Structure 1
């Protein structure tokens, strides 16, 4: 659930955790009961690494101009396992 920050003119700031549908424009201060004003802060965008920013950029670019593939991609340089065990024909059959 999201946490919303509010500031009372008398008591100071406090946080309210509630669902998006249940948020009130001016909740009452838990200390004095006076309606408080909401405080808007910046989102924590600095916590993303460069790789996360790159992935977000690729995802948004893919949404605008999706790449169309016509074949199954290779296994990224890893050898593929054999489809069946080569030792199976050597086993006795009943």
Structure 2
């Protein structure tokens, strides 16, 4: 079932649920029973999973005001120790 939006001249917008692709061009207004025309609107993205909505919001926010980096991140204070002791045979290899 899909939700379609219709607009009545005196009562405003209302929603009607119908199977996908079967929505009529006009529907009776629930308040006055006059024929109301169908409105074509954006899909209801608010019913999407929260993670998807958050991703869309973050993407839209960065499109207008991207985060500007003024410097590379600071290096860590300590260096990682190697997992194995250095091999003396590898000392003779060329270094980049």
TM-score range (shorter-chain normalised) is: 0.3 to 0.5
TM-score (norm: length of structure 2): 0.44
TM-score (norm: length of structure 1): 0.44
Higher strand share: 2
